[in-house]
Amino acid sequence: MCGIVGISAETNVAAEIYDSLLMLQHRGQDAAGMVVCDSDDKLQSRKSMGYVRDVFQQRHMSKLIGNYGIGHVRYPTAGGAGKEFAQPMYVNSPYGISLAHNGNLTNSTELGKQLFHAEMRHLNTDSDSEVLLNIFAHELGKQREIYPSAKHIFRAVTKTHRRCDGAYAVLALITGHGILAFRDNNGIRPLSIGIRQGKTRDEYIIASEDALFESQGFKKLRDVEPGEAIFIDKKGNFFSEQCAEMPQKRPCIFEYVYFSRPDSKIDEISVYKARMRMGSRLANLIKKQNPNHDIDVVIPIPDSSTTAALQLAVDLNVPYREGFVKNRYIGRTFIMPYQEERRKSVRRKLNILDLEFEGKNVLLVDDSIVRGTTSKKIIQMAKEAGANKVYFASAAPAIKYQNLYGIDMPATSELIASNRTDEQVAKEIGADWLIYQTLDDLIASCKEGNPEIKEFETSIFTGEYITPLGENYLQELEISRQDEVKAQREKAKAN
Ligand code: AMP
């Protein structure tokens, strides 16, 4: 996962891009970067590994002068982790293009070969974002225009859509010309536009999530449509065009479950409200499965499950209690490469309030179960704290398949539910009762916020992928994502 933002304004944008990246930090903590363009058409950039606050120091900020720019926070999905993967990425020709990408291309290996053999372009990493940048640059270069207009740029986006499969929400800075945004034809990853009145012109922001608009004085204009491209030239003129042949809105449902901020609206669905509805539907399921349940208390696993857990407790008419206190200064446990380290760090991340558990039948609520590491450890902690029975509810259905569209999920074989029944998962994590949200209920929870959305991207639950896939793609990805293979890759790099 990644977060992207682009701003076009009358005055310097670096400070606002910085603030925006801070608000998108949850979408990626591996690396951060920004590039801005000044009135002499010169670029200034800074990118590095680490949190936003560590990457940008005062000495960097004072050099980032320019009234349009783009920024990126990275969470490693495709390729690997390392400085060379930090974005925005840059190619010199044509015009000097910088690109920030959220998502994952599913045909980047094949495109990489085309770029090398037929288009004489060099790729320095195995990052799919570098492939995407070069495909777009190649298509824009083919227009052979010294001063490209929005029409030429949109034509290059159309060609890019034809060649790229997978998920991509993109911001590109075309040096001396302006900012371009586009979204894949399913709109899998989110992208929203905001507008603000400047002294002489409208100013724009385009970002992964709209939660950051208000605080910077922007009003939401709308979401970028699937397949659509937006170009804001350096004077602030706004252009848009549908560049895909068969666009269809199918946003990733996991954004609502886990990834996005609760204060964002993604494709007009409030993430907060969707999570409340997930809680309500879970409560109904519990009542249906066991009308005489003996749950004494509902306890969320902080943070992303708290909204669903609170609503669940209200609907069940059972007290809601905080049973865990999170240490906010520890990074996400998920990104640690080794299983043993991961296990230990759940303990370091969450501290238990024993009194809320002693002698009670507790229902723990999490947004999802991935490897099962967190749930297993937490159930053990609850039992050690004196809980009588420990039940577990997941606001998402069982995750059985790997994610191809930009969410860092492990290999299918490492997902606890991939080859287990619900009862077997319950046994494995030590739960006395495990309740998974049904997919229909999850979809209904989201859809209620925008009934016009007919379909969501739900492949991690169903294994049905909505974009074309190469013959061996799934098997190759499966191997490259296994913990052991990742560890070997890191070791080889270190040597
Ligand atoms: P696990 O311990 O592997 O079952 O992970 C489950 C926990 O990880 C849940 O508490 C989720 O909030 C969180 N989670 C779900 N998906 C991801 C992801 N892609 N990256 C990081 N954390 C995640």
Cα of 303 to ligand 1 centre, how many Å? 11
Neighbours of 33 (CB within 10 A): 25
Instruction: Say what the pLDDT of residue 15 is.
Output: 98
Q: Which residues lie across from 3 on neighbouring strands?
A: 73
Q: Is the CB of 370 under 6 A from ligand 1?
A: yes
**3-state SS class at 270:** strand
DSSP letters for 123-178: --SS-HHHHHHHHHHHHHHTT--SS--HHHHHHHHHHHHHH--EEEEEEEEETTTE
**3-state SS class at 193:** strand
How far is it, in rounded angstroms, from Cα 69 to Cα 74? 17
Q: CA dihedral in degrees (178, 184, 189, 191; nearest 10)?
A: 30
Sign of CA dihedral 186, 189, 195, 198: negative
Cα of 334 to ligand 1 centre, how many Å? 6
Q: Is the CB of 373 under 6 A from ligand 1?
A: yes
Q: Is the CB of 405 under 6 A from ligand 1?
A: no
Spell out the residues 6+ positions from residue 25 whose beta carbon is closer than 8 angstroms to its own: 3, 51, 52, 73
Note whether 142 and 117 are within 8 A (CB): no
User: What does the block give as tokens for 270?
Assistant: 């409030």
Give all domains of the chain, ordered by start, each with its CATH number: 3-249 (3.60.20.10), 270-327+334-494 (3.40.50.2020)
Q: Which atom of ligand 1 is nearest to the CA of 370?
A: 4
Q: Is the CB of 403 under 6 A from ligand 1?
A: no
Q: CA dihedral in degrees (263, 224, 33, 83; nearest 10)?
A: 110
How far is it, in rounded angstroms, from Cα 153 to Cα 137? 10
Between CA 303 and CA 192, with CA 399 as vertex, the angle to 5 degrees is 60
Task: Tell me the per-residue pLDDT of 323-336, one tens digit each, with 9 for 90 and over.
Answer: 999 987 775 545 55
Q: Is the CB of 369 under 6 A from ligand 1?
A: yes
Task: Tell me the per-residue pLDDT of 200-254, one tens digit each, with 9 for 90 and over.
Answer: 999 999 999 999 999 999 999 999 999 999 999 999 999 999 999 999 999 999 9
Bridge-based pairing state of the strands 297-300 and 324-326: unpaired
Note whether 203 and 188 are within 8 A (CB): no
Note whether 295 and 318 are within 8 A (CB): yes
Instruction: Say what the pLDDT of residue 78 is.
Output: 54
Q: Using the structure block, give the residue that is written with the tokens 């999170």.
A: 326
User: What does the block give as tokens for 361?
Assistant: 């039948």
Ligand 1 atom 9: residue of nearest CA: 368
How far is it, in rounded angstroms, from Cα 269 to Cα 170? 21
Cα of 275 to ligand 1 centre, how many Å? 16
Buried b (16+ CB within 10 A) or exposed e, 272-300: bbbbbbbbbbbbebbeeeeeebebbbbbb
Note whether 140 and 156 are within 8 A (CB): yes
Provide the residue type at 1 as one letter: M
Phi, psi for 308 (deg, rounded to 5): -65, -40
DSSP letters for 316-354: HT--B---EEE-TTS--GGG-SSHHHHHHHHHHHEEE-G
Cα of 19 to ligand 1 centre, how many Å? 26
Q: Is the CB of 367 under 6 A from ligand 1?
A: yes
Instruction: Say what the pLDDT of residue 339 is.
Output: 60
For the annotated catalytic residues, the residue numbers are 2
| DSSP secondary structure letter of residue 288 | H
Cα of 101 to ligand 1 centre, how many Å? 22
Low-confidence residues of the chain, pLDDT below 70?
Answer: 77-80, 331-344, 484, 486-495
User: What does the block give as tokens for 139?
Assistant: 């298509």
Ligand 1 atom 22: residue of nearest CA: 334
Q: Using the structure block, give the residue that is written with the tokens 């509805």.
A: 277
How far is it, in rounded angstroms, from Cα 443 to Cα 463? 16
How far is it, in rounded angstroms, from Cα 107 to Cα 132? 10
Buried b (16+ CB within 10 A) or exposed e, 160-171: bbebbbbbbbbb
Q: Is the CB of 74 under 6 A from ligand 1?
A: no
Q: Where are the alpha helices (DSSP H) in 190-331?
A: 254, 271-289, 306-316
| DSSP secondary structure letter of residue 93 | S
